[in-house]
Structure 1
Amino acid sequence: MHYFERLTESTFLATSYTGGAWNTEEQHVAPALGLLAHVVETDRDARRGDGLSIGRISYDILGTLPIGEVETSVRVLRAGRTIELVEATLSHGGRAAVVARAWLMQAYDTEPIGGTSFPGIAAPDAMPAWDATTVWPGGFIASAEIRRDQVEPGRASFWVRTPVALVGGEKIGPVARTAGLLDIANGMTTRISPVDVAFPNLDLTLHLFAEPQGEWVGFDTTVSFGASGVGLTHSVVSDEKGPIGTSSQILTVRPTGSRGAAPRL
């Protein structure tokens, strides 16, 4: 049970668990984002031993990915002793599909002044289970366990975890594990049924001020649609100890009238 199987140092094979929600024959981008975070951390650990933390990782989604073999590459854009900017690319057949840029930062002891004013959300066991397959198809959505407190369409708090490993047989860091679930946020509290309106995201940016802990990832999410086809899904991200960062996704909002074919970027 894993989303990807490593084939070589830089290539991976996606499994059926990555099946998408807009098109079940293509990958849901969520596991792919986790894979790129894992690639960044693996490259970091091969180059240096100080374990710089990922403070921000931003993804640009350039196109769709079939459920098949994908290639990865990593390069350091800004080298440094205490700060690095690293870029990782996920491709298929020589075509880049997702590009990630991550700021890696040295850790310091700031526990005495730590804190946040972001509000917390109820614990996972205080929220009812919710079956997202009643709204969305695909292997990835089916693989996720979700607990949700829906306030109104486009506004909810929820927790997500999965028993499926990101990469078979490999140790996955907490940031990569969390990154592999973040993209689910855009479908967990829809403003309008995806049968009537397509709203795929073109990007995702995660800012972290604390390293995730535990298997649950919590979201306090608001979905907004503008008047000219642009939307935003914004989440405060938490672990079971409280808020740890934020995640934002820009949306292309396209009335469809029927589900029809998957939206193309």
Structure 2
Amino acid sequence: MKTAAEMQPQEGDFAMKKGLSIQEKLKDLRVVEKGFTLKQLADETGIASSTLGSYESDDYKDISHTNLVILAEYYHVSTDWLLGLTESREVQNHEIAELHLDDETLDILKSGRLNNRLLCEMIKHPDFLKLMTDTEIYVDGIATMQIKNMNDWLNAVRLQIVQQHNPESNDLYVQVLDAARIDEEEYFFHNIHGDLDRVIRSIREKNQNATESAPIERPASNDKKMQRLLQSMKYKSNPIEEFWRYFCEELQIDYDKLLDDEHDTMKRIFKKSKLLKSFPSHKNKARK
């Protein structure tokens, strides 16, 4: 038999739960995280135990704003998380201005034009900080003066060697000095590109087995079926009609139940196909 301690819910159990209702969240916070009875929680928060019990029951209807704030503050979670408006339990104390996110950036993030999940993965990647550091150094020109000073020193040494020793154009030491010069753009573009490559490659490898990122493979039998269809359509009086019937069959669309304008619309689209246009017109042959 399990001991009483073993039968108690563990903290990790709660962390794994997702999509909980507000009743379930409040009960888990009380029982799993605090291990309190309703009376103990009432003593801690000043909210009547009967009221707290109603918040956790299946017939829960409403919770006052004041009590919602009290419970959120007591459990150190956000009210938005309790209400199911966000997946983040943390209380967001940072003002938008402190995050340097302007209105245009927020609009882009909320527009759905970006894959925000992928963006979050990139930001959390350990090499992303190096990518941002290298980018900042280049954009702000932080190392520009140091690189210029080093190149100036190399040029001065090279000039001194040429003046004193008059070496040949392919002299080893002159070649080394020439190779040691740093092109700022080439140097940082190489570093930044490498940083970005590592981040993206790592995320790809991590997610390559995910269902949603798996490539769609068409069975070879379907390819053969399509080849046979196209071959037979060369000898049909109306290849577009034939292809439209095949299209409906493959997508499990009831061809006979479609409206006339639906047939006409799709046939007009198929007529734009260069492949279907290449089939000979048997109607013209019939007229001769």
- Give the TM-score category using the shorter length: under 0.3
Flag the structure with larger Rg: 2
Greater percentage in helix: 2
Relative to total residues, which structure has the larger strand share, 1 or 2? 1
Give the TM-score taking structure 2 as reference length.
0.17
